[in-house]
Structure 1
Amino acid sequence: MEAPNQQRRLVVEGGESIVDFDNKAFKPIPQAGIDLAVKAMNAGVMYRYQPKSKEDSLTASFEHDFAQYMGVKHAVGTNSCGSAMFIALNIVGVQPGDTVLTNAFTFHAVPSVIEHARAVPVLVESNREWAMDPNDLDKKATETGAKVLLMSYMRGHVPDMDAIMTVVEKHGLILIEDCAHAYATLWNNKLLGTFGEIGCFSTQSSKALSAGEGGIFITDNDEHAARAVLYAGSYERLWMKHYDLDAELMDRLQNQVPGYSMRMQEVTAAMLTPQIERLSTIKKIHVDNWELLHSLIHDHPNIEIPMPLPEVDPFCDTMQFHLVGLSRDEADRFIDLMKQEGIPMQIFGARRNARDFRQWEYIKAHQDELNETIANIEFACDLSMQPHLTQENIRIMAQVIQDVLTYIGEQAH
């Protein structure tokens, strides 16, 4: 079934919006999470180390559950994904002045973390589907001699992981995965976040696990986990309120690692605790909605939707597409008109977007000539598709996109 193609006046022409929903509205916390959070607040137990044991700690229990979900030995809760990545860079030995390979297309929090570590980001080109280019990674690793790769799956876009891992092994790179946008995303049935030595997840409000703020550090490496607990802010013998740590390691490292006060707190863990089990349900909604929207708009002459590689099993909580055949002014007009119609969007390479590397003026690499990345973000539209959206909502979104593009085309003639 195709989207209805009614002739109507847009808001800009004096018509009325047909959108009565907010495509960007964040997921509510499940009632069970609200109840746990209220119970913790009423008891005054909000600091993760207040409970008498790990079994009584919401944060420790959430960490344990998430590690089991991911199939890894360890998870450590932090106050943000940025903190998890900063801790990861410290653990793998990044020093001031070291070069760290990372995506040219990602959110500015990623290069900011490298700057926080006083290291130097080396930006790797993106491909048409907005994932890291393995060939440019190989080139940059050869040129710089960098030994750490902090790779982001921005908006859930996954590179050729076989090719990436070949480069990682060739150069002896330490891979840290930024999985803020890659929950429940797989390559050949293997979860992202488990390819490198460390995976980092976000629980900021727009993410698959949502608590306003927060992060999760995962690893199979016992010493990495021990150091992460200490960097996050465990002191004395509070590490005993974590699951599955090596006591001998903790005793040895306890006073050797600085604490950066980046802990997750109990109210955050309370909100997150019931959300792991709903990930599969949310993913199915996202995938169904993405596939429906794709079917309705992919053959429009002004739209190009790059498809993920066949090995990828994506989460699909957003859709990105390239506007083709439009000028800069027309593309910007498209964004303005979509907002007027009630469907806010953005273009990654326009209007000082925080995902445009040219705006990262705090790093020298913002001046790099990264022509592939520029071409791939210049007209790339970003559409949020939160799981409350119905299939009827998706059909309306498709109609509005087509109506606005029709209007822009008519104005050009």
Structure 2
Amino acid sequence: MGSDLAMLPRLARDLTEPEPIPEAGIARACELMRSGRLFRYGEMGADQNDVALLEQEFAAFVGRRYCIAVNSGGAALCLALKVLDLQPGEPVLVNGFTLAPVPGAILHAGGRPVLVEIGPDYVIDCTDLRAKARASGARILLLSHMRGHIADMDAVMAACDELGLLLVEDCAHALCAAWDGRAIGTFGTAAAFSAQTYKHLNAGEGGFLVLDDDDRTARAILQSGSYMLHGQHRSAPAADVMSRWEEQTPNFSMRMTALAAALLRPQLHDLPRRAARWNAIHDRLGAAIARSQHVRLPARSPKERYAATSVQFSLLGFGDDEIAAVLERCAARGLPIKWFGAGRQRGFTSAPRHWRYAGEQGPMAQTHATLAGLCDIRTPLSLTVQDCDLAAEILREAIETIVSARAETGKTGRAATG
């Protein structure tokens, strides 16, 4: 393969490259490091209020009453389930296209994941949701807006109302997204966001839980690890609400540091610009990829406003060996592509069959058929128009090369999914 690729152009761009931290964040982080005061609370007063300010700003940005900043998106999901009084071994519904920390958060909170099928457009199948809810007796749906693909929220909310389900939204990939004009993260009883490096906001690690209910918020603040310093929160219910919970609520030490908040605050202010740039990259690359007859991009509703940090597509009619060959050829030209249908989990990709810790889930045939050809290209903000066009050309060339090789050997690929 090396000889025939030597003369072809390579993508000279690191797709894992994050955007630099804004200078204001770097300056504030240096101030904190010189002071040594990296903890979010101060016994002599709330002199280091970066986290409290960020919580206030994030709640306003999303459109929720309250925000609690924690050390990861997974911790935010765990806290959401805890304040919904999840009981040991209680079933929690979750769509089958997500990342391992999501079923992990259910187990962390003491629950039991019940995986729901997805359809060909990568979002939850509401017919299977109804069936799994009735069969399991679950009262909570943890809906993962995986890779920023937004389900028909009208249908999801109708199912939740019909079944009496409490909705928790995993918005790790959906900050700035909306459905029919309503912000994603405002549909559920609670919603969780991430500030891990490859999300919309980058603190290395970090997360946010947003809520509207006074008592659940009080418990989440205490559970996040406020000690008796919860008066230093700016995004919090009244003191009498906090006081009635403070001796009944355990401390789980999930706090965000002042240093992380210092890095995040200027990013939040700049997020609308960055989201628009991400979508421009997504749309350019997606349109160019879709020129191949062997590629399918998921359909999106006109009601959906997405905020994409990567591009997903399905390779149609290819066997596993052929997909592996396509991706190997792309990688040889500098274009790494993730594959959710691979036999072994790798990097940040996995599928329900890899989550043995989640317990027996049945075949999940529809989900695995969709994931079989589902691929993913990360789209850093540094990508240029030329980079997007070259990446698409690399993928199309790899596809056509493997299709031509198939024709020469008389082999046929697996039936198309989706």
Question: Which band: TM-score by shorter chain?
Answer: over 0.9
**2:280 is equivalent to residue 288 of structure 1:** yes
Matched ranges for 1:9-408 at <5 A:
13-15=5-7, 17-50=9-42, 52-54=44-46, 56-236=48-228, 238-243=229-234, 244-353=236-345, 354-365=349-360, 367-408=361-402
**How much has 1:383 moved relative to structure 2?**
0.7
Is the 1:57–1:266 Cα contact (8 Å) retained in structure 2? yes
| Letter in structure 2 aligned against 1:241 | Q
Give me the whole-angstrom Cα distance separating, in 2, the residues matched to 1:151 and 1:88. 12
- Residue identity over aligned pairs, in percent, reads 34
Is the 2:330–2:337 Cα contact (8 Å) retained in structure 1? yes
Name which of structure 1's ranges 52-61 and 190-199 shifts more when overlaid on structure 2: 52-61
Name which of structure 1's ranges 395-404 and 259-268 shifts more when overlaid on structure 2: 395-404
Give me the whole-angstrom Cα distance separating, in 1, the residues matched to 2:351 and 2:46. 42
| Letter in structure 2 aligned against 1:364 | G
**How much has 1:410 moved relative to structure 2?**
2.5
Partner residue in 1 for 2:413: none
Is the 2:37–2:48 Cα contact (8 Å) retained in structure 1? no
Partner residue in 1 for 2:415: none
Is the 1:10–1:341 Cα contact (8 Å) retained in structure 2? no
| Letter in structure 1 aligned against 2:399 | L
In structure 2, relative to structure 1, the CA distance for the partners of 1:91 and 1:11 (3 Å cut) is farther
Structure 1 unmatched ranges of 5 or more: 1-8
TM value normalised by structure 2: 0.93
**How much has 1:54 moved relative to structure 2?**
4.6
TM value normalised by structure 1: 0.94
Name which of structure 1's ranges 115-124 and 171-180 shifts more when overlaid on structure 2: 115-124
Is the 1:79–1:262 Cα contact (8 Å) retained in structure 2? yes
SS state at 1:362 partner: helix
Give me the whole-angstrom Cα distance separating, in 2, the residues matched to 1:221 and 1:393. 46
Is the 1:10–1:17 Cα contact (8 Å) retained in structure 2? no
| Letter in structure 2 aligned against 1:346 | K
Runs of 4+ in 1 over 6 A off after TM superposition: none
For this pair of structures, how many residues does the alignment match?
403
Structure 2 unmatched ranges of 5 or more: 409-418
Is the 1:101–1:124 Cα contact (8 Å) retained in structure 2? yes
Partner residue in 1 for 2:405: 411
Name which of structure 1's ranges 158-167 and 53-62 shifts more when overlaid on structure 2: 53-62
**How much has 1:171 moved relative to structure 2?**
1.3
Give me the whole-angstrom Cα distance separating, in 2, the residues matched to 1:51 and 1:270. 20
Give me the whole-angstrom Cα distance separating, in 1, the residues matched to 2:392 and 2:136. 45
| Letter in structure 2 aligned against 1:281 | R
Give me the whole-angstrom Cα distance separating, in 2, the residues matched to 1:388 and 1:31. 17
SS state at 2:356 partner: coil
Give me the whole-angstrom Cα distance separating, in 2, the residues matched to 1:102 and 1:227. 24
| Letter in structure 2 aligned against 1:371 | A
**How much has 1:287 moved relative to structure 2?**
1.6
Partner residue in 1 for 2:414: none
| Letter in structure 1 aligned against 2:369 | A
**How much has 1:297 moved relative to structure 2?**
2.3
In structure 2, relative to structure 1, the CA distance for the partners of 1:318 and 1:51 (3 Å cut) is farther
| Letter in structure 1 aligned against 2:314 | H
**How much has 1:56 moved relative to structure 2?**
4.4
